[in-house]
Amino acid sequence: MDKYLLIPLLPLIAFTINIIFGKGIIKERAHWIAILAVLGSFAIAVSTLIEVLNGKTINYDVYSWIVSGSFKVTVGFLIDQLTAIMLIVVTSVSLLVHIYSVGYMHGDKGYYRFFAYLSLFTFSMLMLVMGNNLLQLYFGWEAVGLCSYFLIGFWYEKKSASDAGKKAFIVNRFGDFGFGIGVIMIFLTLGALHYTDIFAKVGTLQGQTINILGYNIDLITLIALLLFCGAVGKSAQIPLHVWLPDAMEGPTPVSALIHAATMVTAGVFMVARFNPIFSLSETAMNVVALTGAITSLFAATIALVQNDIKRIVAYSTVSQLGYMFLACGVGAYGAGVFHLYTHAYFKALLFLGAGSVMHAMAGELDIQKMGGLKKHMPVTYWTFLIASLSIAGIPGLAGFFSKDEILWLAYNHGTIGKIVWLMGTAVAALTAFYSFRIIFMAFHGKFRGTHEQEHHLHESPKAMTIPLIILAIGAISAGWVGIPAALGGSNAIAHFFEPVLGHPHVTAAHEEEFMVMSISIVAAIGGIFVSWIFYSLKPEIPKTLAAKFKGIYTTLWNKYYVDELYGFIIVRPTKWIASNILVAVTDGKIIEGIVNGVPQAIRNFGERLRKLQTGHLQHYAVSMAIGLFVILTLVLIAAGR
């Protein structure tokens, strides 16, 4: 067996073992199997990365799944620069989340189930990124959706958790619908499912239009937008971002996994993977860039006022994903994936840190009730601080390099680029602000919770802090592979990605690059400074501001009322249709009628048919003889013609 197959197969095996034997035999030992499997996958992923670094790309079919005439669906692997990085991100974050979960999920009655789902989730994501054809991507795409449903609704006894699971699944369905149509369109127009075939043929579509309801629509734009539709759902962009903050209902390690490595990054990965299609349509690119930028700004503003620690981090994920799409939209796919890769580490760290805080606070999520945690949980504090500095874009840390690359390349991309650059810079300031709001409110100052909680405060166990430390190292150093030339680096990662993702042409001088860089640094430091004034120095300012701009504050607090809007325009009409048409008419009359009527009809028919069964052997023989006679006659007639 070749080793590439083992990468997704090991977690699948772990899942199978845990789900079958977990309840009876394995029980509290479930994590060993899951961790060993992911560790194996990670080791193979590293060796694969080394091979790819040496210039090897792997593309082959493992297994023919469906063969029907010229239509052939295979399970195959394409491992190039993009996939290799994704493999590292997925397996490493997944591994750390697995280890962290040993501490976090300790004593949960669904312990084995949790690890089984984690393995399945990892498997699905690996299949998604490793596939060499569209259908396998689609398989992984749906599978991660299913796993997210399992894991978000992991504590299914809790209504909010199962609701959040359903919400994630259903909202994703909207996006997947478009994605599915996109896949079908590609197959219909190009007749190919393998990436290599698609990218080889996609040029022939240029200039073709398709007539929909009387409008001539550019075919490539349509396909690209349909694919992007899927990415919007999976990567929680406006208008389908609503599921991600609710996904907080799942256990915190799951949030970390969803937000950092699996699931949400799938959309960015897909857009980057299909860059040959997107690059052919300027309209689609602009849509991607603007959607990314608007989502980024939108989510960052919501994050400003939230008090739930996980919710703030969740909105920051939506915002950072917007950044990645912004990058893809200006043609800087490499920068987008680079940000995906650095983001994976500091975002996983933020979530696991938040989980560690929750662990100490006995499940408390409100940062207004925290404070002064610094001295109780130093490891969590320092790692969380590193992650916040990284996401804020402080020079030297991972987030700075990737964010700066995106902003710089956006700045170089004409008018649209300038607009999204401005938005991106604003987001950078907001990001720094809300990230440090958590730091100042939760870790500094005086403890504001109950006495009982204060007594309970403690540092988390080793299984949880070690992954935090490892991730902190990642959050510092992950970006060092992409130090731009302007700072004396070689921007190795951009060159690494160039064969797959290309590299946008940059004309502007280093001076401008320094200008862009300085602006974003100023924005970041400004954000942190304001945050320090607001929440450490003069805590009364935010309250005054909130009272003064009550309208804005409540709008932000209620997340722009998007959930309420959807509730009004989608959920309520659907429920009305469900109760008044489906239940009353379809279910009550039609289905009941069919359900009761069919057996009645069969019974009546059977009563008559029964009479044929006389029990006389000869009667049966005669019917056989008549059958023989009829068949012979038919054959003769057929032969006679």
Partner 1 sequence: MLPNLFFGYFAIVMVVLSLLIITRRNPVHSVLWMLVLFFHIAGLYLFLNAEFLAAVQVILYAGAILVLFLFVIMMLNLKEEITAERFIGEWPIGVALGISIIMLVYFALSKFIQGPVGQYTIEAINKETHTKTIGRVLYTEYLFPFEIASLILLIAIVGAIVLAKKRG
Partner 2 sequence: MVPLDWYIGLSAVIFVIGVVGFIIRRNILIMLMSVELMLNSVNISLVAFSHYLQDLRGQIFVFFIITVAAAEAAIGLAILVALFKNKAAVHTDEITEMKG
| Positions that interact with partner 2 (CB under 8 A) | 609-618, 621-622, 625, 628
* 267 close to 208: Cβ distance less than 8 angstroms: no
Stretch that binds partner 1, among 27-35, 448-456, 604-612, 633-641 (CB under 8 A): 633-641
Q: From the list partner 1, partner 2, none, pick the one residue 578 interacts with, judged by a Cβ distance below 5 to 8 Å according to partner type.
A: none
| Dihedral (CA of 501, 507, 513, 519) sign | negative
Question: At its nearest, how many Å lie between partner 2 and the CB of residue 601?
Answer: 18
Give me the count of residues in the chain: 641
Q: Decide whether 415 or 618 has the Cβ nearer to partner 1.
A: 618
Question: At its nearest, how many Å lie between partner 2 and the CB of residue 635?
Answer: 14
Question: At its nearest, how many Å lie between partner 2 and the CB of residue 186?
Answer: 53
Q: Decide whether 577 or 632 has the Cβ nearer to partner 2.
A: 632
Q: Decide whether 591 or 632 has the Cβ nearer to partner 1.
A: 632
Q: From the list partner 1, partner 2, none, pick the one residue 615 interacts with, judged by a Cβ distance below 5 to 8 Å according to partner type.
A: partner 2
- Over the window 210 to 229, marking each residue x when it contacts partner 1 by CB under 8 A and - when it does not, the resulting string is --------------------
For position 636 contacting partner 1 by CB under 8 A, the verdict is: yes
Q: How far apart are CA 486 and CA 488, in angstroms?
A: 5
For position 632 contacting partner 1 by CB under 8 A, the verdict is: yes
Site for partner 1 in 569-628 (CB under 8 A): 616, 618, 622, 625-626, 628
Question: At its nearest, how many Å lie between partner 2 and the CB of residue 612?
Answer: 7
Q: How far apart are CA 348 and CA 423, in angstroms?
A: 25
Q: From the list partner 2, partner 1, none, pick the one residue 53 interacts with, judged by a Cβ distance below 5 to 8 Å according to partner type.
A: none
Q: Decide whether 159 or 616 has the Cβ nearer to partner 2.
A: 616
* 262 close to 169: Cβ distance less than 8 angstroms: no
Q: Decide whether 595 or 630 has the Cβ nearer to partner 1.
A: 630
For position 633 contacting partner 1 by CB under 8 A, the verdict is: yes
For position 492 contacting partner 1 by CB under 8 A, the verdict is: no
Question: At its nearest, how many Å lie between partner 1 and the CB of residue 610?
Answer: 21
Packing angle of the helix pair 333-360, 398-411 (nearest 10 deg): 140
For 1, the 3-state DSSP assignment is coil
Angle at 561 between CA 330 and CA 231, to 5 degrees: 35
- CA distances to 191, 295, 562, 615 from 238, rounded to whole Å, are 32, 6, 10, 71
Please list, residue by residue across 404-422, b when 16 or more beta carbons sit within 10 angstroms of its beta carbon and e when fewer do.
bbbbbbbbbbeebbebbbb
| Dihedral (CA of 196, 201, 206, 208) sign | negative
Question: At its nearest, how many Å lie between partner 1 and the CB of residue 150?
Answer: 50
- CA distances to 144, 317, 346 from 420, rounded to whole Å, are 30, 18, 23
For position 634 contacting partner 1 by CB under 8 A, the verdict is: no
Chain centroid to CA 132: 19
Q: How far apart are CA 177 and CA 308, in angstroms?
A: 32
Q: From the list partner 1, partner 2, none, pick the one residue 610 interacts with, judged by a Cβ distance below 5 to 8 Å according to partner type.
A: partner 2
Question: At its nearest, how many Å lie between partner 2 and the CB of residue 632?
Answer: 10
* 528 close to 438: Cβ distance less than 8 angstroms: no
Interface positions with partner 1 (CB under 8 A): 616, 618, 622, 625-626, 628-629, 632-633, 635-636, 639-640
